[in-house]
Structure 1
Amino acid sequence: MKHAFPKPTAGLILFLLISFVMNTSAQKLSVTGLTVEHLTNPLSVDDPNPRLSWKLVSEVQNTMQTAYEIRLSTTASFSKKAFWSVEKKGDESVLVSYAGPALASKTKYYWQVRVKDNHGNTSAWSPIQYFQTGLKSSDWTAKWITVPGKDSLLASPLFRKDFKLSKTIQSATAYITAKGLYEAHINGKKLGDHYFAPGWTSYKNHLQYQVYDVTKSFNKGDNTIGVMLGDGWYKGRIGFGNQRQFYGDTRALLLQLEIEYTDGTKEIINTDNSWKTTNGPILASNIYDGETYDARLEIQGWDNIKYKETANWKPVRILPNGTEKLVGMSGPMVSKHEEFKALKIFKTPAGETVVDFGQNLVGWVMVKAKGASGTKITISHAEVLDKAGNFYTTNLRSAKQQNTYIVNGGAPQIFEPHFTFQGFRYVKIQGFPGTLKLEDLTAVAVYSDMNTTGTFATSNTLLNQLQHNIQWGQKGNFVDVPTDCPQRDERLGWTGDAQAFASTAAYNMDVSGFFTKWLKDVSADQLPNGSVPYVVPNVLNERDAGSAGWGDVATIIPWDLYVAYGDKGILEAQYPSMKKWVDYISSVSQNNLWNSGSHFGDWLFYRPNDDNDGRAAVTDKYMIAQTFYAHSTQMLLNAAKVLNKTEDVEKYSALLKKIKKAYVSENMTENGKLASNTQTAYVLALQFDLLPENMRQQAAERLARNVKDYGNHLTTGFLGTPYLCHVLSRFGYQDVAYDLLLQESYPSWLYPVKMGATTIWERWDGIKQDGSFQTPDMNSFNHYAYGAIGDWMYKNIAGINPVQEKPGYKAVVISPKPGGNLTSASATLETVYGTVKSSWVIQEGIFKLDVSVPANAKARVILPKTNKEEEIGSGNYHFESKY
Structure 2
Amino acid sequence: MSALPYGLRCDHRTTPLGVSGFPLLSWRLRGADPVSFQVEVDGVWSSGRVTDPAAVGTRYDGPPLRPGTRYDWQVTLWGRDGVPGTARSWFETGLDAWSAAWIAADPDAVEHVDPPTEGELALPDHGLLPCPQLRRAFHTRSPVTAARLHISAKGLYEAAVNGHRAGDGLLTPGWTDYRKRIQYQTMDVTRWITEGENVLGVTLADGWWSGYVGFDPRRPGYHYGRFPELIAELHLTYADGSAEVVGTDATWRVAPGHVRYADLLKGECHDLRAATPGWDRPGFDDSAWRPVVVTGHDHTLLAPAPDEPVRRMRRIAPVAVTRLGPATHLADFGQNLAGRLRLTMPEAEPGTTVTIRHAETLDGAGRLDTANLRTADATDVLVSAGPATVFEPGFTYHGFRYAEISGTAEPVEVSAVVLHSDMSWTGAFECSDPEINRLWRNIEWGQRGNFVSVPTDCPQRDERLGWMADAQVFLPTACFNADVAAFFAKWLRDVRDAQTPDGGFPNVAPRLSGVAEEGAPGWADAGVLVPWHLYQVYGDPAFLDVDSMAAWVDLVHRHNPDLIWRARTGPHYADWLAPGPATPRELLATAFFHRSADLTARAAAVHGRTADAERLRRLAEDIGTAFIKTFLQGPGRLVGDTQTGYLLALAFGLLPPEQTAPAARRLAELVERHGPQTGFLGVGLLCPVLSEHGRADLAHALLRRTDPPSWLHQVRNGATTVWERWDGAGAPSMNSFNHYAFGSIGAWLYGGVAGIGQAPDSVAWRELVIRPLPGDLTWARASYESVRGRIAVSWKRAGGAFDLAVTVPPGATATVHLPDGQTHHVPSGDHLFRSTQET
Quote the residue 2:682 is aligned against.
720
Match of 1:342, SS?
coil
Partner Cα separation in structure 2 for residue 650 and residue 279 of structure 1: 61
- Secondary structure in structure 2 of the residue aligned to 1:877: strand
The answer as to whether partners of 1:563 and 1:802 remain within 8 angstroms in 2 is: no
Aligned ranges for residues 371-520 of structure 1 at < 5 Å? 371-410=348-387, 412-432=388-408, 434-437=409-412, 440-520=413-493
The SS at the match of 2:633 is coil
Q: CA offset at residue 84 of structure 1? A: 4.5
Mapped contact 2:327–2:410 kept (Cα < 8 A): no
**1:218 aligned to 193, 200, 214, which one?**
193
What TM-score, normalized to structure 2? Answer: 0.95
Match of residue 289, structure 1, among 266, 272, 277: 266
Structure 1 stretch 554-563 or stretch 542-551: which is displaced more? 542-551
Larger RCO, structure (CA 8 Å, separation 6 or more): 1
Asked if 2 retains the 8 angstrom alpha-carbon contact of 1:563 and 1:804, the reply is: no
Task: Tell me, yes or no, if structure 1 residue 309 matches structure 2 residue 280.
Answer: no
1:882 aligns with 2:836: yes
Alpha-carbon distance change, 850 to 671 in structure 1, aligned in 2, over 3 angstroms: closer
Determine if contact 1:151/1:249 at 8 Å carries over to the other structure. Answer: no
Q: Secondary structure at the match of 1:669?
A: strand
TM-score of the pair, normalised by structure 1: 0.90
Q: Structure 1 residues 631, 228: CA separation in 2 closer, same or farther (over 3 Å shift)? A: same
Partner of 2:80: 118
Equivalent residue for 2:117?
none
* Alpha carbons of structure 1 residues 287 and 355: separation in structure 2 relative to 1, 3 Å: same
Taking structure 1 as reference, are residues 84 and 329 closer, same or farther at Cα in structure 2, changes over 3 Å only? same
Q: Give the distance between the partners of 2:712 and 2:324, measured in 1 at CA.
A: 28
- State the Cα distance separating 1:28 from its structure 2 match: 5.1
State the match for 1:65 in structure 2.
Answer: 34
Q: Match for 1:699 among 652, 663, 673?
A: 663
Find the partner of 1:134 among 89, 94, 108.
Answer: 94
1:247 aligns with 2:224: yes
For residues 408 and 386 of structure 1, the distance between their equivalents in structure 2, rounded to whole angstroms, comes to: 34
- C-alpha separation in 2, matches of 1:207 and 1:255: 13
Deviation for aligned residue 1:726: 1.3
What residue in structure 2 maps to residue 829 of structure 1? 784
User: Which position in structure 2 is the counterpart of 1:164?
Assistant: 139
2:758 equivalent to 1:802: yes
Kept in 2: contact 1:451–1:510 (CA 8 A): yes
1:120 deviates by 2.6
Instruction: Kindly report which structure 2 residues correspond to 1:11-410, keeping only aligned pairs within 5 A, or say none.
Output: 27=1, 29-47=3-21, 49-58=22-31, 63-73=32-42, 84=46, 86-91=48-53, 93-123=55-85, 125-126=86-87, 128-136=88-96, 139-148=97-106, 150=108, 154-239=129-214, 240-241=216-217, 242-311=219-288, 313-322=289-298, 325-347=301-323, 353-370=329-346, 371-410=348-387
- CA contact 1:850–1:877 (8 Å) conserved in 2: yes
Deviates more, 1:634-643 or 1:620-629: 634-643
Letter in 2 for 1:633: A
Residue aligning to 2:586 = 622
Q: Percentage identity across aligned positions?
A: 39
1:428 shift after superposition: 0.9
1:854 is displaced (CA, Å) by: 1.8
Give how far 1:864 is off: 1.4
From 733, 745, 767, the equivalent of 1:811 is 767
**Counterpart-to-counterpart distance in 2, 1:787 and 1:315:** 51
Decide whether the 8 Å contact of 2:135 with 2:280 is kept in 1: yes
Structure 1 residues 324 and 290: alpha-carbon distance in aligned structure 2, compared to 1, 3 A threshold: farther
Amino acid of the structure 2 residue aligned with 1:425: R
Which residue of structure 2 aligns with residue 864 of structure 1? 819
Which amino acid letter does the alignment assign opposite residue 331 of structure 2? V
How far apart, CA to CA, are the structure 2 residues paired with 1:290 and 1:396? Answer: 12
From the superposition, tell whether residues 220 and 395 of structure 1 become closer, same or farther in structure 2 (CA, over 3 Å): same
The residue aligned with 1:9 is none
Deviation at 1:82, TM superposition (A): 5.3
Take 1:532 and 1:543, find their aligned partners in 2: how far apart are those partners?
Answer: 11
Greater than 6 Å deviation, 4+ residue runs: none
1:708-734 alpha-carbon deviations (Å, 9 max, x no partner): 111xx1011001111011111111111
8 Å contact 1:84–1:101 — kept in the other structure?
Answer: no
- Correspondent of 1:595 among 566, 569, 584: 566
Q: Deviations over 1:422-468 (max 9, x none)?
A: 00000111102x3225xx11001100001000000100011100000
Q: Tell me how far 1:149 sits from its aligned partner.
A: 5.1
Q: Are the aligned partners of 1:594 and 1:625 in contact in 2 as well (CA < 8 Å)?
A: yes
Alpha-carbon distance between aligned partners in 2 of 1:202 and 1:94, rounded to the nearest angstrom: 33
User: 1:4-48: CA deviations, max 9, x gaps?
Assistant: xxxxxxxxxxxxxxxxxxxxxxx454332111110111111112x
Q: Choose from 809, 818, 837 the match for 1:854.
A: 809
Q: Which of the residues 547, 551, 569 maps onto 1:576?
A: 547
CA contact (8 A) 1:207 1:324 kept: no
Change (3 A) 1:29 1:654: closer
Q: For 1:562-573, what aligned pairs fall within 5 Å after superposition? A: 562-571=535-544
Q: Is the contact between residue 860 and residue 870 of structure 1 (CA under 8 Å) also seen in structure 2?
A: yes
Unaligned stretches of 5+ residues in structure 2: 111-127
Q: CA deviation at 1:142?
A: 0.8
Q: Report if the CA contact (8 A) 2:327-2:407 is conserved.
A: no
Residue 55 of structure 1, CA deviation = 2.3
Cα distance in 2 for partners of 1:367, 1:452 equals 28
| Pair 1:112–1:356, CA change in 2 (3 A) | same
Which residue identity lines up with residue 717 of structure 1 in the other structure? G
Distance in 2 (CA, whole Å) between partners of 1:352 and 1:666 is 63
5 Å-filtered alignment, 1:752-763, equals 752-763=714-725
Q: What is the deviation of 1:484? A: 0.3
Looking at structure 2, the residues matched to 115 and 845 of structure 1 have their Cα atoms a distance apart, in angstroms, of 44
| Whole-angstrom distance in 1 between the partners of 2:46 and 2:684 | 46
State the 1:871 CA deviation: 2.1
* Residue in structure 2 matching 1:585, options 556, 569, 587: 556
The one-letter code of the counterpart of 1:202 is D
Alignment correspondent of 2:115: none
Asked whether the 8 Å contact 1:175–1:256 carries over to 2, the reply is: yes
Count of aligned pairs between the two proteins: 815
Q: Measure, in 2, the Cα distance between the counterparts of 1:349 and 1:214.
A: 47
Q: Report the alpha carbon displacement of residue 102 of structure 1 after superposing the two structures with TM.
A: 2.0
Aligned to 1:764: 726
Secondary structure class of the residue paired with 1:158: strand
Distance 1:167 1:699 in 2: 77
Contact preservation (8 Å) 1:476, 1:782: yes
CA contact (8 A) 1:205 1:324 kept: no
Report the CA distance between 1:542 and its aligned residue. 7.7
Matched, 1:559 2:532: yes
- The CA deviation string for residues 304-329 of structure 1, in whole angstroms up to 9 with x for no partner, is 11212241x11111111347511011
**Partner Cα separation in structure 2 for residue 591 and residue 175 of structure 1:** 52
Indicate the RMSD between aligned Cα atoms, in angstroms. 1.7
